[in-house]
Amino acid sequence: MMKYANFIILFLLLFFVFIFQERIQPSTNMLSLFTSKDSLKKLDIATELGYTREMMIAVKGFNEKSQKTVDELSYELKLLDGIELVESKTVPSKEIQNYYKNFYYTLAEFSQREYKKEDVNKKLQELYDKQMNSFFYTPIDKNDPLKIFNFDLFQTSKLSSKDGYLTLGDYGYLIRVKTKVSPSQMDEAKKLYDEVNKLTSEYNNIIAFAGFFYTVENSKKIKGDITKIVIFSTLLLLLIYLVLIRDPKLLLNTLTTLFSSMVFALLVSTLVYDNFHIISIAFGMSITAVSIDYLFHYYFHNFYQNENKIDKSVLYGYLTTTAAFGIFSFIPVPLIAQISFFTALSLSFAYLVFTFVFPYLSLKEYNRELKKEKHSKAIHAYFILVLSILFLIYTAFNIKLDTNIRNLDYQM
C-alpha cells in the first residue's frame, strides 16, 4: 500500500480540487496584485463620480447610413445588462434628463463661494417668503435650494455635434455609453466586452473603447503568456530531470510529488485569498521546482536506504527557506504575499513527501561511479566574498528603482 502512497495523495488532492472547482478560479485582474481589497472598494466608490465606467463608440462617416448605424447600435446597446445609459444625440432623451436631474451634481460646476450661516438663513427666508406671499407658484429645487451647482441640462456635452448627433472630430458620429462595470469587476467586464465586440462586429468601420477593455484584453494576453511560460518551463524541467534522474520509477514519483505540491498550494491559496492571481501561480510553480534539491540530497546520499528519518542539513535548509517565504507572505503587497504563501505551502508539502513518504517506495540504491579527481586550483572563498561585496556596493549606488506602478502596464 505504501508503495503507491504518492499517487494516492495526488488522487486525494485532485478529488478536493474537483469538489472546490468553482472556488479555484485564478484571477487575471492586475489591480488585485497591487491594490488591497479596501482600496478596490474605494476605487469602486470613486468611479461613481468619474468617467471610468464610460464607453465610447465611433461610427465612421456623416451620411444617412452612419446615422442608421448609430440608431441601431444605440437601441441594441440599451438591451445589454451592463449598460446604464446610451447617448448619441445632442437633445437628451427623457431617460437621460432624469439621470441628469438626479445626478447633475457630478457633472455641474461647483460654486466656490463660502456660505456663512447668515447667508443660508437669508436665502431660506427668501424662498419661504416667495412660497407664502407670491401670487404664482415658485418651484424649489430640493436637491440644491441654494443653487451652489451651475448646471444646464441642455449643455451637458462639450463634444461637437452635427445633424443632431454627437460627433468625434472629422471621423464620424459618436455614441457615449455609461456602463455598470467598474475596473475591479473582472467577470462583468469580460462579459460586457464580449457582448459589445459581438455587437460591433456586425457593422463596418466601428471603433469601441472603454477603460475596462484594457483590463480584459490584458487578462487574455496574460493567460496566453503564462500558459507558454508554464509549458516551456515544464518541458525544460522534464529534460533536466531525465538527465539527472535515470531511474524511471524515481522520476515518475518525483514528478508526481512536485505536481501534488503545486496542486496542494493552489487549493489552499485560492481558498485563503479571494483574488489569487495567475501570475502568482506561475512564479510559485517555478520556485517550487527548488524542492527537488531535497530529493537529490536524499537520493545521492542513499538516505532512503538508511534508518534515519530526518536529515538535519535538509531540515535546516527547508526551515530557513520556508521561514523566509512565511515572513514575506505578511508583506502588504498582494503579489509578494501570494507568491510567498504559495511557495511556502508547496515547499512544505514537497519536503514532507520527500522525507516521510519516499523511504517506503522501495527505491533503488544510488550507485556512485568512481571518477578520477580532476586537480584544479580552487578559487579562494575570500576572493568570492570580496567580489560579491564590490558588486553589492556598485549596485547600491547605481541601481534605480521605479516606484510608478503605471510602468507595469502589460504590453504597452
Question: Beta partners for 172?
Answer: 60, 168
Domain ranges, residue 156: 49-211
- CB of 69 closer than 8 Å to CB of 203: yes
pLDDT < 50 positions in the chain:
45-46, 49-51, 153-158, 370-376, 412
First to last CA, the chain: 54
C-alpha R_g of the chain: 32
- 91 burial via Cβ count (<10 Å: 0-12, 13-18, 19+): exposed
Round to whole Å and give the CA distance between 385 and 378: 14
Residue 409, in any domain of the structure: no
Residue 128, in any domain of the structure: yes
The verdict on 63 and 201 lying in the same domain is yes
Residue 89, in any domain of the structure: yes
Residue 387, in any domain of the structure: no
369-to-215, 217, 373 alpha-carbon distances in Å? 56, 54, 12
- CB of 143 closer than 8 Å to CB of 25: no
Pairing of the two strands 161-162 and 149-150:
unpaired
Residue 372, in any domain of the structure: no
- Any idea what DSSP says for residue 372? P
- CB of 66 closer than 8 Å to CB of 172: yes
pLDDT digits (tens, 9 = 90+) for 275-290: 787 778 888 887 887 8
Domain boundary among 211, 232, 251: 211
Closest C-alpha among 346, 280, 267 to residue 28: 280
pLDDT for res 157: 46
The verdict on 198 and 343 lying in the same domain is no
Phi, psi of 165 (to 5 degrees): -115, 150
The verdict on 197 and 57 lying in the same domain is yes
C-alpha cell at 200: 460591433
Residue 406, in any domain of the structure: no
Sheet strands (E) in 34-160: 54-60, 83-87, 109-110, 149-150
The verdict on 193 and 270 lying in the same domain is no
Round to whole Å and give the CA distance between 306 and 367: 15
Question: Does an H or E element contain 190, and which?
Answer: helix 186-200
Question: Does an H or E element contain 277, and which?
Answer: none
The verdict on 200 and 65 lying in the same domain is yes
Round to whole Å and give the CA distance between 88 and 71: 8
- CB of 259 closer than 8 Å to CB of 267: no
The verdict on 53 and 201 lying in the same domain is yes
Alpha helices in 79-170 (DSSP H): 94-103, 117-133
- Give the three-class secondary structure for 55: strand
Phi, psi of 21 (to 5 degrees): -60, -35
The verdict on 54 and 197 lying in the same domain is yes
pLDDT for res 144: 72
The verdict on 93 and 18 lying in the same domain is no
pLDDT for res 238: 74
Burial pattern 205-219, b for ≥16 Cβ within 10 A else e, equals ebebebbbbebbebb
The verdict on 203 and 229 lying in the same domain is no
Domain boundary among 211, 230, 249: 211
The verdict on 19 and 75 lying in the same domain is no
Round to whole Å and give the CA distance between 182 and 211: 9
Round to whole Å and give the CA distance between 192 and 182: 11
C-alpha cell at 163: 445633424
Question: Beta partners for 89?
Answer: 165
Residue 315, in any domain of the structure: yes
Round to whole Å and give the CA distance between 254 and 354: 8
C-alpha cell at 96: 437621460
Residue 157 CB: number of other CB atoms within 10 A? 15
The verdict on 94 and 190 lying in the same domain is yes
- CB of 56 closer than 8 Å to CB of 208: yes
Phi, psi of 326 (to 5 degrees): -65, -40
380-to-178, 230, 384, 387 alpha-carbon distances in Å? 68, 38, 7, 11
pLDDT digits (tens, 9 = 90+) for 18-27: 888 777 777 7
pLDDT for res 371: 42
Closest C-alpha among 252, 264, 227, 270 to residue 358: 252
- CB of 184 closer than 8 Å to CB of 59: no
CATH code for position 311: 1.20.1640
The verdict on 105 and 246 lying in the same domain is no
Q: Count of domains in the chain?
A: 2
pLDDT for res 245: 74
